[in-house]
Amino acid sequence: MIGQAARVGAIRAGALEDLADAHLRLGQHIEAVNRLELEATEQASRERLQSLLAVALYRAGRQTDALRVIDRCRRTLLNTSGLHLGTVLKQLETSILEHDPALDWTASPPSAGADAAGSDRPDGALPDPLRGRRTDPIGRNEELAALDRVLSSAEDGRGTVVTILGQPGIGKTRLADTVFQRAADRGFVTSWSRCPEHRSAPPFWPVTHLAEQLRRTGHVDEPLNDLEALSGVGGVEVFAFARQILESLGRIDRPVLFVIDDLQWADPDTLRLLEYVVSGLGSIACVLVATARPIDDHVDPAFVDCLAEIARVEGSTQLLPRALDVEHISHWLSTGEHRGASLEIARLVHERTNGNPTR
Ligand SMILES: Nc1ncnc2c1ncn2[C@@H]1O[C@H](COP(=O)(O)OP(=O)(O)O)[C@@H](O)[C@H]1O
Ligand SMILES: [Mg+2]
């Protein structure tokens, strides 16, 4: 009887996991959290359940809770059966701490092979822990050349800031991901953070994450200021904090690259702090790359001010990746599984998608 109950329980849990996986693929993170949270407390050693919940929480902007779920699973496994955490959860924990872009949700391509550029970015599913390197994005040679120049001048001790602005799906994150990899290959200390869409995110959210990564990798050892106390305070304190950050970065013995993805959602404290930080990058070996949606009528004025301040920084670069043209699409198709697709097909794809890689 107990055996049967356990079997039914396992089938139920499996179905729930499949359902949550489907929600994750559709970008319905909150729905996935709601479905999983209770079950996950009762089955704290069921690793797939826990990893789905951790990804859902992370995508919902609850990074700390996601890490807590993994830690609870680690302790439960150890206490109940003396086992260690599996590879998938261990890798997931690292990816969460590092804000690996592969964890972010992206819409599934409309048909098989649409993302045929060789991208192995998971289409919203769980990250592949053995994910290989990605190929360079199509049609972005100019942008990549500009980014390479920025890395070179940082290696010579002159840092700056680059913004990548464009509509959703145009390839901002992909470009930032590519420069992130290139910088890592060149020996930069790299760190990635993304601003959550949630209004309720704590102050200085992305800054906290960047600092956390630097501390974890042993590049910075001083503790962060009390950020709650700094929230909403006047310019002098924030300026002093920015100086402290620049000094810490300047002490690192290698060039540094930071990415802040989706800056349009940064909290106002972060934006104010960044205004000061970017003005001091010129004399240290540190590059900030920020991606954001273009300015429109709905954006926060603090974001507009921050972009204006960034534009004043010496050597700052604004990249505006454009829609892909027919030649790019044709090249893209020729490298994927639609090898041999005619120019006519490329034209049709261009017409249907307006050159946006996600459509
Ligand atoms: N130039 C490109 N070449 C190949 N794939 C691309 C390119 N630009 C974007 N993609 C793919 O399109 C999807 C959306 O791109 P992403 O960088 O997430 O857009 P954004 O950050 O601007 O919303 C991703 O799967 C990405 O890998
Ligand atoms: Mg993006």
Residues touching ligand 1 (Cβ under 6 Å) are 106, 115, 117, 119, 121, 137-140, 166, 168-174, 357-358
Q: What is the mean pLDDT of residues 14-40?
A: 86
Ligand 2 (ion): residues with CB under 5 Å are 173
Q: Which amino acid, residue 212?
A: E
Tell me the CATH number of domain 141-319, given options 3.40.50.300, 3.30.110.40, 3.40.50.2300, 3.40.50.150.
3.40.50.300
pTM of the predicted structure, to 2 decimals: 0.67
- pLDDT of 115 reads 32
Q: Which helix (H) or strand (E) holds 193?
A: strand 189-194
Higher per-residue pLDDT: 108 or 209: 209
- pLDDT of 199 reads 63
Q: Has residue 11 got a pLDDT over 50?
A: yes
Distance in angstroms (rounded) separating the CA atoms of residues 214 and 87: 23
Tokens of 122: 């998971």
Question: What residue spans define the domains of the chain?
Answer: 2-98, 141-319, 323-359
Mean pLDDT of the chain: 83
**Is residue 322 packed enough to be buried (19+ CB in 10 Å), middle (13-18) or exposed (0-12)?**
middle
Distance in angstroms (rounded) separating the CA atoms of residues 111 and 344: 18
Q: What does the pLDDT look like over 141-191, one tens digit per residue?
A: 999 999 999 999 999 999 999 999 999 889 999 999 899 989 989 999 988
**Is residue 235 packed enough to be buried (19+ CB in 10 Å), middle (13-18) or exposed (0-12)?**
exposed
Q: What is the mean pLDDT of residues 100-112?
A: 61
- pLDDT of 123 reads 31
DSSP strand pairing (286-292 vs 189-194): unpaired
- pLDDT of 198 reads 66
Tokens of 245: 């950050």
Distance in angstroms (rounded) separating the CA atoms of residues 5 and 82: 24
Q: What does the pLDDT look like over 254-268, one tens digit per residue?
A: 999 999 999 998 988
Check if the beta carbon of residue 313 is closer than 8 Å to that of residue 188: no
Residue 222 DSSP code: S
Higher per-residue pLDDT: 344 or 293: 293
**Other CB atoms within 10 Å distance of the CB of residue 181:** 14
Tell me the CATH number of domain 2-98, given options 3.40.50.970, 3.40.50.1220, 1.25.40.10, 3.90.650.10.
1.25.40.10
Residue identifier of the C-alpha nearest atom 15 of ligand 1: 171
Q: What does the pLDDT look like over 119-138, one tens digit per residue?
A: 333 333 344 333 344 678 98
CA of 109 to the centre of ligand 1 (A): 10
Check if the beta carbon of residue 266 is closer than 8 Å to that of residue 303: yes
CA of 163 to the centre of ligand 1 (A): 16
